[in-house]
């Protein structure tokens, strides 16, 4: 037969003498009587003209919840301007209150940001240090990829073809609708805006040259790389980051498997195959949108548009954009995997590194495109 333990209700009384106001606590201050204790605290009204002593010698039982309530009582009295101390504690209860003091949250203080040259230089230095560490991490992953690829060439069975196919399906086939739609709209906008301004000079026919060269050399591959970075790059970071949070990455190390071979190589390889294909689809969709707008807005029929486009572009124009695609895919894949491996054990870290993955990938894609533009201009292509 079970018996219910009886608890005495918490209470207090205020005793005043010449130099001290004493708050004598009684009853049980525990989790089971916490609601009753909180209900009686609003009745506490002690003048702040003398020293206040909280006498805990008559407390029956007390646990962490009750001690925290007494601690909060003391804090509110001190906040009101009184000098408060707790007495009547044995060694065990004194250690409990000391632990509460250690874990008591500090008072909030607003951060003051002073604008100074030293602070600006320090912040810039820290950011450059972070860029340097990111560069080292990317080079580490790139070197690891080179080692794994050499092993795959010597032992083709080590290549996980199914993983590459799955990642290709997610990165390429699943992205075709959004890439085609966005490219179609961008191509139409380029043609409309170009025709609007060129019509003022009576040379709107050159909108075909403008759209063809701009789309095939620059817009198609950049637009596709940015969308892939936002779609597939963020997905890679989130997947690897979630595995990092669940300690699956550590489990792969423990059982002797290569993280680069199992997780990174299939994703990067699939992305390097997918981005040129998506770039070609983007080029076709952009030119189709441009031709449709040129027909409806500039009265250039499809046959004339195709004939003028054939005269304006060459196979080199198309290849310039397609050559950039694998390098941009490599950049996006490396950054996504590096940021995923940097995730710690919190969801806040996962969200921050996923965002940083997209931002860094888009930035480096534009930088790489600029480098290629300078290179092709220097060789006359």
Give the total number of structural domains in the chain: 2
Confidence of residue 329 (pLDDT cuts 50, 70, 90): very high
- For residue 148, pLDDT beyond 50: yes
Query: What token pair was written down for 15?
Result: 């005793």
Q: Which residue has the tokens 């007494």?
A: 70
**How many beta carbons lie within 10 A of that of residue 136, not counting itself?**
11
pLDDT at 87 exceeding the cut of 80:
yes
User: Is the CB of residue 51 less than 8 Å from the CB of residue 18?
Assistant: no
Structure-model confidence comparison of residues 65 and 332, the more confident one: 332
Asked if 142 and 260 sit in the same domain, the reply is yes
Structural domain includes residue 121:
no
Q: Which helix (H) or strand (E) holds 377?
A: helix 347-378
In a domain, 204, yes or no: yes
Q: Is residue 108 part of a domain?
A: no
147 lies in the same domain as 34: no
Residue 181 reports pLDDT greater than 90: yes
**Which strands form 20-29's sheet, in the order they lie side by side?**
11-16, 20-29, 51-62, 84-87
Cβ distance 12 to 44 under 8 Å? yes
Q: Is residue 107 part of a domain?
A: no
Based on the fold, state whether residues 56 and 137 are members of the same structural domain: no
Residue 331: pLDDT above 60? yes
Is the residue at 112 inside a domain?
A: no
Looking up residue 88, the CATH number of its domain turns out to be 3.30.750.24
In a domain, 197, yes or no: yes
Domain interval for residue 20 = 11-102
The arithmetic mean of pLDDT across residues 272-291, rounded, is 92
Same domain for 90 and 204, yes or no, is: no
Tokens read off for 160 = 């996980």
- Residue in 321, 320, 316, 304 with CA at minimum distance from that of residue 208: 304
Concatenating the DSSP letter of every residue in 138-163 gives: HHHHHHHHHHHHHHHHH-GGGS-HHH
Q: Are 167 and 224 members of one domain? A: yes
SS (H, E, C) 24-73: EEEEEECHHHHHHHHHHHHHCCCCCCCEEEEEEEEEEEECHHHHHHHHHH
pLDDT tens, position by position, 97-139: 877 777 766 666 666 666 678 777 888 888 888 888 888 888 8
Q: Give me the pLDDT at residue 105, please.
A: 62
Q: Are residue 160 and residue 272 in the same domain, yes or no?
A: yes
- What is the pairing mode between strands 51-62 and 20-29? parallel
Output Rg (C-alpha) for the chain, integer angstroms. Answer: 35
Based on the domain organization, do 317 and 257 belong to the same domain? yes
pLDDT one-digit tens code per residue, 333-369: 999 988 888 888 778 888 888 999 899 999 999 999 9
pLDDT tens-digit series, residues 21-75: 788 888 888 888 888 888 888 888 777 777 888 888 888 888 888 888 888 888 7
CB atoms within 10 A of CB 344: 12
> How many whole angstroms separate alpha carbon 118 and alpha carbon 243?
40
Please give, one letter per residue, the 3-state secondary structure of 216-247.
HHHHHHHHHHHHHHHHHHHHHHHHHHHHHHCC
- Tell me: do 180 and 316 sit in the same domain: yes
* In the predicted structure, residue 3 carries a pLDDT above the cut 60: no
> Within this chain, do residues 88 and 136 fall inside the same structural domain, yes or no?
no
The vertex-23 CA angle with 17 and 29, nearest 5°, equals: 160
Residue 2: pLDDT over 60: no
Do 163 and 303 lie in a common domain?
A: yes
pTM of this structure: 0.66
Q: What per-residue confidence (pLDDT) applies to 104?
A: 64
What are 184-214's pLDDT values in tens digits? 999 999 898 888 888 888 888 888 888 888 8
């Amino acid at each position: 037969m079970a018996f219910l333990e009886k608890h005495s209700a918490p209470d207090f009384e205020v005793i005043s003498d010449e130099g001290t106001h004493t708050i004598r606590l009684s009853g049980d201050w525990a989790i089971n009587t916490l609601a009753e204790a909180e209900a009686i605290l609003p009745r506490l009204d002690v003048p702040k003209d003398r020293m206040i002593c909280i006498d805990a010698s008559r407390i029956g039982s007390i646990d962490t919840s009750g001690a925290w309530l007494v601690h909060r009582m003391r804090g509110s009295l001190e906040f009101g301007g009184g000098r408060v101390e707790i007495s009547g504690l044995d060694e065990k209860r004194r250690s409990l209150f000391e632990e509460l003091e250690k874990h008591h949250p500090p008072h909030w203080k607003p951060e003051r940001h002073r604008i100074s040259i030293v602070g600006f230089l320090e912040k810039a230095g820290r950011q450059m240090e972070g860029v340097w560490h990111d560069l080292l991490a990317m080079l580490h992953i790139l070197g690891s990829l080179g080692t794994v690829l050499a092993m795959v060439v010597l032992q083709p069975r080590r290549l996980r073809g199914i993983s590459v196919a799955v990642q290709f399906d997610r990165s390429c086939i699943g992205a075709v609708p959004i890439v085609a739609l966005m490219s179609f709209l961008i191509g139409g906008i380029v043609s409309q805006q170009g025709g609007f301004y060129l019509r003022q000079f009576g040379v709107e026919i050159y909108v075909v040259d403008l759209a063809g060269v701009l789309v095939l050399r620059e817009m198609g591959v950049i637009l596709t790389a940015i969308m892939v970075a936002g779609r597939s790059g963020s997905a890679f970071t989130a997947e690897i980051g979630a595995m990092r949070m669940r300690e699956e990455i550590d489990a792969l190390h423990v059982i002797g498997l290569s993280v680069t071979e199992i997780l990174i190589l299939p994703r990067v390889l699939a992305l390097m195959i997918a981005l040129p294909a998506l770039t070609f689809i983007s080029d076709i969709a952009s030119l189709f949108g441009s031709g449709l707008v040129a027909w409806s807005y500039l009265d250039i029929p499809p046959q004339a548009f195709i004939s003028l486009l054939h005269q304006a572009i060459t196979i080199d124009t198309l290849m310039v954009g397609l050559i950039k695609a694998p390098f941009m895919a490599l950049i996006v894949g490396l950054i996504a995997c590096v940021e995923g491996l940097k995730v710690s054990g919190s969801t806040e870290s996962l969200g921050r590194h996923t965002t940083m993955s997209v931002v860094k990938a888009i930035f480096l894609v534009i930088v790489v495109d600029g480098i290629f533009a300078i290179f092709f201009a220097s060789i006359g292509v």
